Structure 1
Amino acid sequence: MKTVLWATLTANGNYAQSGPENPPKKEALDDFFTQVKATGNFIVGRRTFEGMRGNGGPGPFADIDIVVVSKSATEIPGVTVVSSPEEALKYLEQKGHQTALISGGADIHNSFLGQDLVDEVIFNVAPVMEGRGLNLLIDKENYLYKHVQLLDCKPLGSGVVQLRYALDRAVS
């Protein structure tokens, strides 16, 4: 199964923190909906999912397989809850998906990256800089480098630039 990590970064490389004072750019959100529609699924952390859900209801994700990775939650109505990235991928593969979209939460992104479970990354770089922020890490302990191959680079509008890279995964 191909795995694609989708994230929005700031211009200074942090994992973008959205909020009332810094809402996500429409172009990045539109791209997320396009990616979700193409894959038919997405994997997200519990806190990020709760933030996305807002007032509840299926919204634009009515026919989408949503997998929430959580160490504490065991059941969330309308979605599948698993306790690990491997379980999330196994579930989507059993459902017949060819591609899994990893969509949210720095902890979820870092767990997939740290376990070498990502084939491709899509970074939407927003035209904002943060003083403090979270980082996406392939390893929390060491100074490792992972070479990537640029697949595509395109402007999405409003100053958002999308970078798409392929990652070489270790063969197990």
Structure 2
Amino acid sequence: MNVTEQLRARWAALELRERRMVAIAVTLVALTLLWWIALAPALRTLTAAPAEHARLDAQLQQMATLQNRAKALQAQPRLNRDDALRALETSVRQSLGTNAQLVTASGDGAATVTLRATPDDLAQWLSQARGNAHAVPREAHLTRAAAAPPSAGSKDPQPPKVRWEGTLVMALPAAR
């Protein structure tokens, strides 16, 4: 006797009430499996879709912004090394003042900026150097300098500004 025949014989031996209970149990197990395998994952995906869509839209917007920036940088006229060096000197003088010194090296196409207690607007200056002089940092050796505490009579709630010391090696455009 094979397995199918044994199951049929057992089913026939069950009373009507027992058959109904087995049928209800099998139905409940089948419905539970249907829920776990087919319906619950689909409903989770459906409820998470708006948030995921918004996240992807924001990411797409950010990528489009970066693409526009890259295109704007590519569209800028190329500077020769001398013009870039002059623009970098001007930005160091105007933005960093006496707290920085620019030294150029003729061989490797780089300029070294030495910083002494430079205010915390260094990131703004780096952005300006990138835009105006097409100079990008190639090497940085920076440390936080001790900031002067606010004077005792000062009612200024602002914490002391961060100051930077060290050197930045800026890569300049290649000579043409």
- Compute the TM-score of the two structures, normalised by the length of structure 1: 0.20
**Whose radius of gyration is greater, 1 or 2?**
2
- Compute the TM-score of the two structures, normalised by the length of structure 2: 0.20
Larger % of helix: which? 2
Larger % of strand: which? 1
